[in-house]
């Protein structure tokens, strides 16, 4: 149970200074519940029962929201979350994970469990434990299926699968996105499919996948430098001199991107 502690006071202060923005969501420093009709009920305190019931404290008293009677419930951002983020930036992954696991436990159903699991997975990837990261994401999706709709989280999950070598499952997902996903997702999925093929030593097939993004998804500018660069890398594996042209194009057409920097090193 969260009380109006020093932490909450700090959150309230921050609320007074403005809203906390993270991950595309606006996190107010007051707890609230979002109802199925989209309306929001704010409170002064919030807690959750293990069965998913939310108890929101309002000035007039407490209200209980049974599962199914609300869309989402938010608690104010815990300070530990920020600490965990900083630890991850400093590559102290195990410490971060420990903190985040605690947050998962304490903030179940209060949104920070989801955020914490995402961060746990990223920390696990940071330390190279990609298989665990995949497991964490699957746990997240199992707890909160709507998190699959968060593109950042979804692609982080895909990235974990790729690095964990779960090619067959990932390839099936990418095929789905390529045929039925948005154009942005399809462009990206093609790159991932190329990555899978490259990991299997099928470099020529990988070139084709990367080039599909280049040729057929030109408007997806975000994906272009990566696709071009990776096409170059695959060609390089095949000792194909056209690799150089690909790298030159990345530098020429997308000079300010990370891939341009990588391409410059190749050149």
Q: How far is the CB of 215 from other proteins (least distance, A)?
A: 3
- 51 makes contact with other proteins (CB under 8 A): no
The β-bridge partners of 32 are 42, 74
Residues 180-209 that bind other proteins (CB under 8 A): 200-205, 207-208
Of 113, 40, 33, 20, which is closest to residue 74 (Cα–Cα)?
A: 33
Of the pair 74, 203, the CB lying nearest other proteins is at: 203
- Give the whole-angstrom CA distance, residue 11 versus residue 19: 10
> Hey, what's the torsion of the CAs at 171, 174, 178, 183, to 10 degrees?
-150
Q: How far is the CB of 97 from other proteins (least distance, A)?
A: 36
- Residues binding other proteins: number (CB under 8 A): 21
- 242 makes contact with other proteins (CB under 8 A): yes
How many angstroms separate the Cα of 64 from the Cα of each of 22, 67, 265? 27, 10, 59
Q: How far is the CB of 247 from other proteins (least distance, A)?
A: 13
Among 215, 252, 253, 264, binds other proteins (CB under 8 A): 215
- 112 makes contact with other proteins (CB under 8 A): no
Burial of residue 42 (CB within 10 Å: 0-12, 13-18, 19+) is middle
Residues forming the site for other proteins (CB under 8 A): 200-205, 207-208, 211-212, 214-216, 236-242, 245
């Amino acid at each position: 149970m969260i009380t109006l502690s020093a932490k909450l006071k700090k959150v309230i202060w921050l609320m007074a200074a403005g809203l906390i923005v993270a991950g595309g969501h606006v996190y107010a420093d007051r707890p609230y519940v979002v109802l199925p009709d989209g309306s929001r009920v704010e409170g002064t305190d919030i807690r959750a029962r293990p069965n998913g019931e939310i108890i929101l404290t309002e000035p007039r008293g407490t209200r209980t929201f049974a599962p199914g009677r609300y869309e989402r419930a938010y608690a104010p951002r815990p300070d530990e979350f920020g600490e965990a983020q900083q630890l991850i930036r400093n590559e102290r992954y195990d410490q971060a994970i420990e903190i985040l696991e605690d947050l998962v436990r304490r903030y179940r159903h209060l949104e920070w469990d989801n955020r914490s699991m995402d961060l746990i997975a990223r920390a696990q990837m940071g330390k190279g434990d990609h298989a665990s990261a995949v497991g964490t994401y699957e746990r997240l999706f199992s707890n909160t299926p709507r998190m699959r709709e968060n593109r950042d989280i979804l692609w982080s999950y895909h990235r974990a699968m790729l690095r964990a070598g779960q090619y067959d499952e990932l390839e099936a997902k990418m095929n789905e996105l390529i045929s039925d996903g948005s154009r942005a997702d399809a462009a990206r999925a093609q790159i991932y499919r190329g990555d899978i093929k490259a990991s299997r030593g099928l470099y020529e097939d990988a070139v084709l996948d990367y080039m599909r993004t280049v040729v057929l998804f030109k408007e997806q500018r975000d994906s272009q430098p990566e696709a071009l660069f990776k096409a170059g890398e695959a060609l390089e594996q095949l000792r194909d001199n056209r690799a150089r042209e690909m790298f030159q194009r990345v530098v020429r057409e997308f000079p300010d991107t990370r891939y341009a920097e990588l391409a410059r090193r190749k050149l």
